[in-house]
Amino acid sequence: MRVVGLTVGLVLLIASCGSGDEPGLLGEDLFTSIVVGGKAGCTACHSIEPGADGIGPSLAGIGSVAGTRVAGVTAGEYLRASITDPDSHLVEGYATGVMPKGWKLSDAQIDSLVEYLLDL
Ligand code: HEC
């Protein structure tokens, strides 16, 4: 776990020095940006290759899985909550507090990320 902590620290350090935080980015461009909403971008922790789990779980096929995560919660609602309130549901095997919260993203940007993830 110490290694994970160090890796997260390093990723955040690199992200805070990096550029590419474009307020107008949407969807896939936003997902793959090095810095997203002032924090390490999604791809620092998430791959979209099946089984390629990193600091966070692979998001391959998340569009089909999302709707099955929490009873009574739709895929879109689950994905939105995963971004705005990541600790509201923890993926098995992952710890609380690792995925950043408080992203400085507009509603339209969060919607565009949800739409991108729904198609994975
Ligand atoms: C510092 C690492 C980190 C970053 C950066 C990060 N995440 Fe995560 N994410 C995690 C971890 C760890 C989990 C698993 C724990 C949990 O469920 O909160 C997770 C969970 C998720 C889940 C739920 C996956 C599932 O299988 O149910 C989604 C969706 C997600 N992240 C999307 C994003 C998006 C979109 C971004 C960029 C805006 C992002 N993450 C940035 C670490 C990160």
Query: Over the stretch 81-109, which tens digit does the pLDDT of each residue have?
Result: 999 999 999 999 999 999 999 999 999 99
Torsion of CA 8, 23, 33, 86, to 10 degrees: 50
Query: Is the pLDDT at 64 greater than 90, yes or no?
Result: yes
Contact 112, 28 (CB under 8 A): no
C-alpha 45 – ligand 1 centre gap (Å): 7
Query: Is the pLDDT at 73 greater than 70, yes or no?
Result: yes
Q: What is the pLDDT of residue 62?
A: 98
Rounded Cα gap, residues 63 and 69, in angstroms: 11
| Token pair recorded at residue 9 | 């620290």
Share of the chain above pLDDT 70, in %: 82
Any atom of ligand 1 within 6 Å of the Cβ of 26:
no
- Going by CA atoms, what residue is nearest to atom 28 of ligand 1? 82
pLDDT class for 16, splitting at 50, 70, 90? very low
Q: How far is CA 69 from the centre of its chain?
A: 16
Q: What is the pLDDT of residue 24?
A: 87
C-alpha 98 – ligand 1 centre gap (Å): 8
